[in-house]
């Protein structure tokens, strides 16, 4: 995939929502999608970070972004409905949805995993993408073709000791992807896939591996060929796939 060279206007006139767009991989994906022509809806919980990404997009001459602050920890089904209604009203459709935001939670044996932390993590990593997808399907169905991307992890494909709720949540994300892809395959022009970004230089990786030298890791920009491929029309026939960056 590193050899994929996206057309400069790959995402021209597309409306794409990115969760966790203020930092890490989500920030880079938002910038990259905008630079390839998309109007990006920047969703996240820290408004100052979203504003910085918004400014960077504007300064690059890309289509103006839209900021939608939302804390996935506390958002209700009603909040997602309002988001879906707003997108339909303002944009008429949604061409792409990148579920990127997630939290790491504690790494500890299941026996000692704090129950509250488990519930909080599942809210952000699993319940939020479920509720959001459910509410945004009418907007996705209004697009000529649309791409939904879930963000997984190696521990979402094979369980690993002490990765607790995070690992289990990523298995759930793979399940969401498979069920949704299967439901939509015959009945819509929406494709649904997951991406495991692999070890990438971000704040989350730093928290998980504090002693690691970040310069040994790939950066979020190195993932962009795959993130662009799965979001754009070149992947039109790809659905239900668990992809690796």
Residue nearest to ligand NDP (CB): 24
* Cβ proximity of 198 and 222 under 8 Å: no
Q: How far apart are CA 41 and CA 67, in angstroms?
A: 6
Sole binder of ligand NDP in the list 127, 153, 194, 239 (CB under 6 A): 153
Question: Shortest distance, CB of residue 69 to ligand NDP, whole angstroms?
Answer: 9
Any contact of residue 164 with ligand NDP (CB under 6 A)? no
Number of residues that bind ligand NDP (CB under 6 A): 27
Which x/- pattern over 28-67 shows residues binding ligand NDP (rule: CB under 6 A)?
Answer: ----------------xxx--x------------------
Question: Shortest distance, CB of residue 78 to ligand NDP, whole angstroms?
Answer: 16
Sole binder of ligand NDP in the list 122, 199, 238, 242 (CB under 6 A): 199
The neighbour count for residue 136, using CB atoms within 10 Å, is 21
Neighbour order of strands in the sheet with 66-69? 66-69, 39-44, 15-19, 96-99, 146-151, 190-196, 242-244
**Alpha helices for 92-163 (secondary structure H):** 115-122, 128-141
Q: Which residues are catalytic?
A: 166
Sole binder of ligand NDP in the list 32, 39, 100, 127 (CB under 6 A): 100
Q: How far apart are CA 157 and CA 195, in angstroms?
A: 11
Choose the binding region for ligand NDP from 3-11, 77-85, 176-184, 193-201 (rule: CB under 6 A): 193-201
Q: How far apart are CA 106 and CA 167, in angstroms?
A: 11
Any contact of residue 124 with ligand NDP (CB under 6 A)? yes
Any contact of residue 238 with ligand NDP (CB under 6 A)? no
Sole binder of ligand NDP in the list 133, 147, 200, 235 (CB under 6 A): 200
Tokens for 67? 């900021």
The neighbour count for residue 130, using CB atoms within 10 Å, is 16
Question: Shortest distance, CB of residue 9 to ligand NDP, whole angstroms?
Answer: 26
Sole binder of ligand NDP in the list 15, 34, 53, 72 (CB under 6 A): 72
**Alpha helices for 106-242 (secondary structure H):** 115-122, 128-141, 164-185, 203-208, 224-231
* Pick from 30, 28, 35: nearest CA to 16: 30
Which spans of this chain sit near ligand NDP (rule: CB under 6 A)? Answer: 20, 22-26, 44-46, 49, 71-73, 100-103, 124, 151, 153, 197, 199-200, 202-205
């Amino acid at each position: 995939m590193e050899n994929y060279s996206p057309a400069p206007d790959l995402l021209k006139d597309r409306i794409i929502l990115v969760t966790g767009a203020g930092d890490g991989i989500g920030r880079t994906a938002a910038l990259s999608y905008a630079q390839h022509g998309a109007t990006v809806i920047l969703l996240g919980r820290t408004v100052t970070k979203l504003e910085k990404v918004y400014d960077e997009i504007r300064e690059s001459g890309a289509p103006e972004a839209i900021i939608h602050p939302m804390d996935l920890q506390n958002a209700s089904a009603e909040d997602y409905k309002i988001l879906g209604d707003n997108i339909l009203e303002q944009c008429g459709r949604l061409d792409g949805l990148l579920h990127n935001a997630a939290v790491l939670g504690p790494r500890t044996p299941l026996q000692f995993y704090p129950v509250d932390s488990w519930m909080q993590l599942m809210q952000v990593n699993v319940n939020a993408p479920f509720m959001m997808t459910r509410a945004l399907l009418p907007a996705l169905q209004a697009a000529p073709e649309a791409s939904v991307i879930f963000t997984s992890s190696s521990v979402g494909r094979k369980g690993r000791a002490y990765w607790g709720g995070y690992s289990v949540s990523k298995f759930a994300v793979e399940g969401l992807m498979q069920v949704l892809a299967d439901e939509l395959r015959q009945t819509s022009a929406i494709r649904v896939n997951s991406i495991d970004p692999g070890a990438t230089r971000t704040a989350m990786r730093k928290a998980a591996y504090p002693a690691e030298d970040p310069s040994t890791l790939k950066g979020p920009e190195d993932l962009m060929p795959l993130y662009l491929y799965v979001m754009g029309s070149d992947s039109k026939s790809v659905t239900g796939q668990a992809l690796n960056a």
